[in-house]
Amino acid sequence: MVIELSTAVASIGAGIAILGGAIGTGVAQSAIGSAGLGLIAEKPEEMGKVLLFLVLPETLLIFGFVIAILIMLSAGLI
């Protein structure tokens, strides 16, 4: 089985897109989670806001996934 260079580079690029989104999401959620836990300890009624702010960084991973799909579609892998 022979894999063309363009296909290999597109596969690596798709992986990097997802990896970048996952790392960014993890870093953002760690900071938001620790600050949010402190806020909930002092003001339990702010739980909704903290939950919303904790979910927002997940869009980074979704954007990385969409970019990976677009890369794979343009390379003809899907």
pLDDT in tens, 29-69: 999 999 999 999 999 999 999 999 999 999 999 999 999 99
User: Global pTM?
Assistant: 0.83
For residue 68, the model assigns a pLDDT of 97
For the chain, which residues make up each domain, given as ranges?
5-75
Torsion of CA 4, 70, 65, 20, to 10 degrees: 60
Looking from the CA of 47 toward its CB, the CA atoms found within 13 Å total: 3
pLDDT in tens, 2-38: 889 999 999 999 999 999 999 999 999 999 999 999 9
For residue 15, the model assigns a pLDDT of 97
Which class would CATH give 5-75? mainly alpha
